[in-house]
Amino acid sequence: MKRRELEERVARFLMLLSALLVLGSLFALLAIVVVKGVSALSISMITQTPAGGYYFGKGGGILNAIIGSIYLAGGATVLAFLISLPTALYLNEYAANSRIANAVRLCLDVLWGIPSIVYGAFAFTIMLYLSARASLLWGIITVTLFVFPIMTRAMDEAVKIVPQRLKEGAFALGSTRLETATRVVVRQAMPGILTAILLGFGRGIGDAASVLFTAGYTDSIPRSLFEPVATLPLAVFFQLTSPVPQVQQRAYASAIILLVLVLLASLASRISTRKLFRYVVS
Amino acid sequence: MWIVSAFSIALTLIIASDLIMKSAPILTTQAAIELLTTSVWNPPRGEFGLYPFIVGTFVVTGLTLLLACPVCILTAVYLAEYAPRRVRGIVKPAVDVLAGIPSVIFGLWGVLFVVPLIRTYAALLLGIDITGYSVLAGAVVLAIMVSPILISISEEVIRAVPLQLREASVALGATNWQTTKHVVLRKSLPGVFAAVVLAFGRAFGETMAVLMVVGNVPQVPHSILDPAYPIPALIANEYGEMLSIPYYESALLFSALILLVVISVFNIIARIILGKLEVRSF
């Protein structure tokens, strides 16, 4: 009798300890990055592009990377959405449980797992083939490839749980499949779809490995799709490798900016999801 | 919609065939097995031994799972079986936040915190002078990176165990922990295994965070305090630069192909298990 009570307590203790360890590492991560970076954070960091001598510790900011990352992740999110939503609708409303749906899901699983560096290398082989140069356009394409499987899987889950009776109601009123899918299913699944979009945006803005070869890096804000573009993750990475202490400091500050953008995206997803649930039939 | 859905299938085939075609040149000069088992990496002299990189990837990934699995599975059990609603309400969103943090930030945290910690303690406890950039540093950073996926999937799988099973066990006089250990965990073992496999895939292909803390020395690591050079880091560092050296690109893309194949096989296994359990997955 005593032994199993002891075991119960030990197990409980270990579990609590594990949960605290996970929470603690999140806290340590945020705390260390914020503490290290906050001193280098300034208004000019987010309002200016790198001035001459920036990489030796002179003035300027990383507006180029902030705008670049938003362009890149924004463009990729839009493109990925254009692939993801039709795919999710097709999988659930048109070809549910068919052989082709299974094949598509299998491929999505495989694509979901492919590391972003492999997407980067793959896109670069295509660029070499077309003798294209690193640019915003190619960055967007690469990030789209990397993000759309993540987005599609999430949307697939959201669309899958739309109740059958809603669709039956729409069909009974004489709607076609397309009308049912776009007017009933999409509206009902909207919170999940939005979460999927913001999830994709968060992944896109945070990934460095896929744009390492494909987007280039520049100190100016791109004015067309064919110019190279700087991104925040790479800004963190490059500044960190600098031997100049001020520049390293700015790497930490850039990391805070990136962190804030990602957390904002996740916050936006939480808030808007909650708001959208008003339009959902439960 | 059919065409858009077919895009997933097409992209999978294109990526696979592109990597196969691009790695073909080096495979015509050297047998694959030779590339995989020789240790000398000297591209200018045409020596492309991938063995240290492969060992490096597996060692870092293995240690990651060794560190992450006990803690994360215990946390998942705690969240699913023990935690009061309030605690769940804190830990779950924290895990979600952790899942969204970009990998450069994990890398930065590794550089700022984990690497100095290892350096200090190696000098203090073992009396050895190392940089701290090591297999261990990579594994610690990766362990935290893969923890969200491990925790969320395991928790979901554990939750899916029918309540009646627990009731039956408790009715027989078992304690909570005995029920968890003998009934719940046994029942959810395949699903937890699938979570571990997915985490393996994640860790195996992770690039930036690992690249920043693992040291990047092309040698076979003999202890966890030695530096290593995993394949994703190899591709990130060396691809896109010296394409004038014959077979260099081909060798790097062959290593990308290895990543792709290993991760895809593991992912498909995990998905099959999760599909059988009918658990919503990511």
B169: domain CATH number? 1.10.3720.10
To the nearest whole Å, the CA of B181 is away from the closest chain A CA by 10
User: Per-residue pLDDT for A81 more than 80?
Assistant: yes
Percent of chain B with pLDDT over 70: 97
Amino acid at B110: G
pLDDT tens-digit series, residues B89-121:
888 888 988 998 999 999 999 999 999 999 998
B123 interface with A at CB cutoff 8 Å? no
CB of B225 within 8 A of CB of A90? no
Pick the residue from chain B with its C-alpha nearest to A102.
B9
Crossing angle of helices A136-160 and B2-29, rounded to 10°: 130
Q: Do B105 and A259 touch (CB under 8 A)?
A: yes
Average pLDDT, rounded, for chain B: 88
Band (pLDDT 50/70/90 cuts) for residue B63 is very high
DSSP A164-209: HHHHHHHHHTT--HHHIIIIIIHHHHHHHHHHHHHHHHHHHHH--T
Q: Do A25 and B176 touch (CB under 8 A)?
A: no
Band (pLDDT 50/70/90 cuts) for residue B279 is low
CB of A208 within 8 A of CB of A234? yes
- A6-32 mean pLDDT: 91
Please provide the size of chain A in residues. Answer: 282
User: Per-residue pLDDT for A279 more than 80?
Assistant: no
User: How many angstroms separate the CA atoms of B215 and B229, rounded?
Assistant: 7
User: How many angstroms separate the CA atoms of B87 and B7, rounded?
Assistant: 43
Cα dihedral across residues B134, B140, B145, B149: positive or negative: positive
User: How many angstroms separate the CA atoms of A227 and B253, rounded?
Assistant: 26
Judged by average pLDDT, the poorest of B29-33, B69-73, B217-221 is B29-33
To the nearest whole Å, the CA of A133 is away from the closest chain B CA by 11
Tokens found for residue A109 = 């699983």
Q: What is the pLDDT, as a whole number, of residue A119? A: 94
Which of A11, A111, A128 is opposite residue B12, by nearest beta carbon? A111
User: How many angstroms separate the CA atoms of A234 and A209, rounded?
Assistant: 9
A122 interface with B at CB cutoff 8 Å? yes
User: Per-residue pLDDT for A256 more than 70?
Assistant: yes
Q: What is the pLDDT, as a whole number, of residue B216? A: 86
Strand partners, B228: B215
Q: What is the pLDDT, as a whole number, of residue A277? A: 78
Amino acid at A59: G
Q: Do A33 and B108 touch (CB under 8 A)?
A: yes
φ, ψ (nearest 5 deg) of residue B14:
-65, -45
Q: For the purposes of burial, counting CB atoms within 10 Å of the CB of A145, is it exposed (0-12), middle (13-18) or buried (19 or more)?
A: buried
Q: Do A18 and B259 touch (CB under 8 A)?
A: no
Tokens found for residue B281 = 């997955």
Question: E strand or H helix at A167, and its extent?
Answer: helix A164-172
Residue B282 lies in a domain: no
Amino acid at B112: L
Query: Does the reported pTM lie above 0.80?
Result: yes
- A246-272 mean pLDDT: 89
Q: What is the pLDDT, as a whole number, of residue A250? A: 87
User: How many angstroms separate the CA atoms of A57 and A218, rounded?
Assistant: 17
CB of A59 within 8 A of CB of A198? no
A206-226 b/e with 16+ CB inside 10 Å = b? bbbbbbbbbbbbbeebbeeee
Residue B202 lies in a domain: yes
Q: Is B173 left (phi over 0), alpha (psi -120 to 50) or beta?
A: left
User: How many angstroms separate the CA atoms of A67 and B17, rounded?
Assistant: 35
Residue B228 lies in a domain: yes
Q: How many domains does chain B have?
A: 1
φ, ψ (nearest 5 deg) of residue B84:
-65, 155
- A84-90 mean pLDDT: 92
User: Per-residue pLDDT for A71 more than 90?
Assistant: yes
End-to-end Cα distance, chain B: 23
Amino acid at B274: L
User: How many angstroms separate the CA atoms of B250 and B11, rounded?
Assistant: 21
Residue B209 lies in a domain: yes
A226 interface with B at CB cutoff 8 Å? no
* Neighbouring residues of A28: CB distance < 8 A, sequence distance ≥ 6: B109, B113
Q: In this structure, which long-range contacts are made by residues B21-28, counting pairs with CB atoms below 8 Å and at least 24 apart in sequence?
A: B22/A125, B22/B249, B22/B250, B22/B253, B23/B250, B23/B251, B23/B253, B23/B254, B23/B256, B23/B257, B24/B250, B25/B247, B25/B250, B26/B247, B26/B250, B26/B251, B26/B254, B27/B254
CB of B92 within 8 A of CB of B78? no
* Helix boundaries (H) for chain B: 2-29, 32-37, 51-77, 85-100, 103-109, 115-121, 135-159, 163-171, 176-179, 185-205, 208-213, 231-238, 248-277
Per DSSP bridges, beta strands B47-48 and B41-42 are antiparallel
Q: Which domain range does residue B201 map to?
A: 2-277
User: How many angstroms separate the CA atoms of B44 and B262, rounded?
Assistant: 28
Pick the residue from chain A with its C-alpha nearest to B98.
A26
Residue B171 lies in a domain: yes
Tokens found for residue B212 = 């920043």
Nearest partner of A276 among A200, A196, A187, A183, judged by Cα: A187
B264 interface with A at CB cutoff 8 Å? yes
User: How many angstroms separate the CA atoms of A129 and A122, rounded?
Assistant: 11
Amino acid at A176: T
